[in-house]
């Protein structure tokens, strides 16, 4: 019971690190990956549709949070229950 409570208490802390765990992908017009990294491909002070075409003409952007969220949450729960 105590380990479950620790895992539940640790969950919000894991969720606070979401922006750092984003994965950015840019696809060209032929749907080939031309950029894949944890750092954004463009200045994120502006909306991505304003900056992406200048760097990757015809490109489409994708921010993938789900895969990294599941991995981080599961690792927090595993450590809390002794796994």
Comparing CA positions, the residue from 41, 13, 44 lying closest to residue 27 is: 41
pLDDT at 6: 60
What does R_g of the chain's alpha carbons equal in angstroms? 17
Domain boundaries, the chain: 1-18+66-83, 23-64
pTM tops 0.75, yes or no: no
Residue with tokens 């765990």: 21
What sections of 1-83 are H helices per DSSP?
2-16, 48-55, 66-80
For 52, residues 6+ apart whose C-beta sits below 8 A from its C-beta are 26, 41, 42, 59, 61
In sequence order, the β-bridge partners of residue 26 are 35, 61
Q: Tell me the average pLDDT across 53-74.
A: 67
In tens, the pLDDT along 8-37 reads 666 565 555 544 567 888 888 888 889 888
């Amino acid at each position: 019971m105590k380990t479950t409570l620790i895992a539940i208490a640790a969950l919000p802390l894991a969720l606070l690190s979401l922006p750092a765990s984003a994965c950015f992908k840019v696809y060209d017009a032929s749907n080939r990956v031309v950029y894949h990294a944890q750092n954004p491909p463009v200045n994120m002070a502006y909306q991505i549709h304003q900056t992406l075409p200048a760097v990757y003409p015809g490109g489409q952007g994708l921010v993938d949070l789900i895969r990294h969220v599941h991995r981080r949450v599961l690792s927090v729960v595993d450590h809390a229950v002794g796994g």
